[in-house]
Structure 1
Amino acid sequence: MNWRELAKHLQINERGIACLERVEESKLSLETICSTKSHEQFFKAVKQQALYDKLDYREVFAYVYMVLAARAYDKYKEEGIDDEIYYDTMMDLVIWSDDCYKKFGIWGIDEYGWLIHHVQLKIFKLGRLQFQPITLGEAIVCEAYKLEKGEKVLNVHIPAGEALDHDKCKASYKMAKQFFKDGSMNCICSSWLLNPVYEALLPASSNIVQFQKDYYIYEVDDLCMQAEERIFGEVKSNPNFYAQDTTLQKVAATYLKQGKRLGIGKGVLKVD
């Protein structure tokens, strides 16, 4: 697998291909970049290479991650992981590159700190949801659960690009149980989708309300602006300037205009 084959399968547009080819022509030292010992050093090396080649660092990250994603294919095969999971997981590279273009007018990767997990086989998209095996850095103690520091859990992420169908989410949990071969598992999730406020703002049948009902929500962080970023595509200082093209945008904007915050919720789900 090479990056061109992967790009064809992921249906990367002409703008993206042009970006990747432009970086490839710069003859950057990929092996030197990959020889770094930490994520921080890796990120610094990519940015230094971009500066040296007079390229935008987001374009260089897109190329580097596409090459690393293509190389990861062999590792997937060694682990016996289906091609569908591989391509579904790597589609996040395209989603975030397109998002970068919408925000900055540059097809590339600005969320490089997030997407490095994909090319290192540390996160997998199983159906509708993504799952990241992690070790808890601190205990989670609440009324319904007690998870110890150092305990292994699955960190659940909700990628953009499709509706949050509840049946598909439930199917994803079942896939994760089979994929990670755990008899039972604890999932954790930190997301704007888990703020209980949506239960009062949206119909009970809405995908968001159905999704969060699966979780025991033990904490809400009102300071995080993730909801504004996801719902409106950007964070603005004045909620009166937010677009109100969808039902969710309308109710969220109305809520924010009242001086309230959307924040994020943190939840736990046990899958037996």
Structure 2
Amino acid sequence: MKVELLLRPHPAWLEHLESLGGFDVTFPDDLPSELLRLTVPHEDVNAVIADRPEPGGPRWWLLERCVHSLVSTMGRVEDPPRFVPLPELGPYFYVHVYLAALPYTRRYHRELGVPEEVSWATFTDLGRNMAVHRKRHGTGGLHAPDWFMLHARGILYQLGRLQFNRAVLGPSASEAVTVAGLPVEPGSPSLGVHIPDFHGSLTPEECDASFELARSFFPRHFPGERPRVMTCGSWVLDDQLAGYLPASSNIVAFQRRFHLLHRFDDSEMLSFVFGREADLAELPRRTRLERAIADHLAAGGTWHGRIGWLPF
């Protein structure tokens, strides 16, 4: 297998990787314990170990350069070319990329003074997204392999129920925030807000605690950045849900925190709520949320993602 041939459809990424060259890559001595610490599902552990790339093997060239890309952009908000799914490399290739990058990320966290418990809460999103992959596809793998780039590069942190990543405002969001009276412009520092799966209910109390943690964590560990707003883009913010759910629901309470902006197409809702995609007639209606989503679609409606912001 010639890995470079797989990358030809992605010329910008290939050029970036070739410009970096090789890198010093090692794996944990006790790989099973490390995988379990990262909450990798037990049924995946043996397969991940068996799939480890060998030095000098056909996947090693790409492994070295992927790790080099992560480490060379550590802490930088600007994204490098993002990893793309390459099924030909096996379902766990990017798991090994992140395992090899983890010592460098941990060192970066220590240099910032990030508490150990925050570091490991953040890193366990690797195992979570392997569980998401199995939930959606019924097989082992890593869901959205580019997502964990934010964690591995020291950009995203799990703080209680929610995740927050360092970011900058785009033109449309900055315009809306400026109209609301806050002095921002395109490129101003901001925080992105994310709602991880497999982490319990989205209660107002737990969200309050997460936002308060974020408001103290980022000024302490990134004092050179002064975000004035946090933004979220999610199907959870589709205000059509408020027409189906009670005002006391956690989702509606979460929506009320935000000033809602434009809608966008979002294909994640059905997979996030139901797991594997199914025909409309086969969607379960076990919960109020499932009934709301299925009934809206059955009536000819469409769900959307929505962007929202709130003051930092």
Identical residues among aligned pairs (%): 25
| Residue 176, structure 1, aligned to residue 214, structure 2 | yes
CA distance 1:156–1:75, shift in 2 (3 Å) = same
Q: 2:311 matched to which residue of 1?
A: 270
Query: SS at the partner of 2:158?
Result: strand
Distance 1:32 1:10 in 2: 23
Give how far 1:209 is off.
0.6
Query: SS at the partner of 1:180?
Result: helix
User: What TM-score do you get using the length of structure 1 for normalisation?
Assistant: 0.85
Distance 2:207 2:99 in 1: 27
| Residue 85, structure 1, aligned to residue 118, structure 2 | yes
CA distance 1:156–1:145, shift in 2 (3 Å) = farther
Q: 1:14 matched to which residue of 2?
A: 42
* Consecutive unaligned residues in structure 1, runs of 5 or more: none
Distance 2:170 2:150 in 1: 18
Q: Which of 238, 241, 260 is the aligned partner of 1:217?
A: 260
User: What pairs up with 1:34-113 in 2 under 5 angstroms?
Assistant: 34-36=67-69, 39-40=80-81, 43=83, 47=86, 51=88, 55-56=89-90, 58-113=91-146
Give how far 1:119 is off.
0.8
Deviates more, 1:162-171 or 1:103-112: 103-112
User: What pairs up with 1:152-167 in 2 under 5 angstroms?
Assistant: 152-161=189-198, 162-167=200-205
CA distance 1:103–1:228, shift in 2 (3 Å) = closer
Tell me if the contact between 1:6 and 1:70 (Cα under 8 Å) persists in the aligned partners.
no
Q: 2:232 matched to which residue of 1?
A: 189
Query: SS at the partner of 2:141?
Result: coil
Distance 1:252 1:258 in 2: 10
Tell me if the contact between 1:59 and 1:106 (Cα under 8 Å) persists in the aligned partners.
no
Deviates more, 1:21-30 or 1:94-103: 21-30
User: What TM-score do you get using the length of structure 2 for normalisation?
Assistant: 0.75
Q: 2:24 matched to which residue of 1?
A: none
Output the amino acid matched with 2:188: E
Query: SS at the partner of 1:113?
Result: coil
Distance 1:35 1:151 in 2: 28
Deviates more, 1:225-234 or 1:240-249: 225-234
Give how far 1:103 is off.
3.0
Give how far 1:179 is off.
0.8
Distance 1:229 1:270 in 2: 30
Write out per-residue CA displacement over residues 110-137 of structure 1, whole angstroms, 9 at most, x where no aligned residue: 3111111111111111111111111123
Give how far 1:235 is off.
3.8
Give how far 1:4 is off.
4.2
CA distance 1:32–1:269, shift in 2 (3 Å) = closer
Tell me if the contact between 1:187 and 1:269 (Cα under 8 Å) persists in the aligned partners.
yes
| Residue 232, structure 1, aligned to residue 274, structure 2 | yes
Give how far 1:186 is off.
0.5
| Residue 148, structure 1, aligned to residue 148, structure 2 | no
Distance 1:178 1:269 in 2: 16
Q: 1:202 matched to which residue of 2?
A: 245
Tell me if the contact between 2:260 and 2:308 (Cα under 8 Å) persists in the aligned partners.
yes
Write out per-residue CA displacement over residues 6-48 of structure 1, whole angstroms, 9 at most, x where no aligned residue: 32323434322212211226445243443458854x736x94x
Query: SS at the partner of 2:52?
Result: helix
Residues matched between the structures, number: 261
Q: Which of 131, 148, 154 is the aligned partner of 1:115?
A: 148
Q: Which of 281, 287, 292 is the aligned partner of 1:251?
A: 292
Query: SS at the partner of 1:204?
Result: coil
Query: SS at the partner of 1:243?
Result: coil
Query: SS at the partner of 2:83?
Result: helix
Write out per-residue CA displacement over residues 29-74 of structure 1, whole angstroms, 9 at most, x where no aligned residue: 243443458854x736x94xx74xxx51x31112222232344222
Output the amino acid matched with 1:219: H
Q: Which of 152, 158, 175 is the aligned partner of 1:125?
A: 158
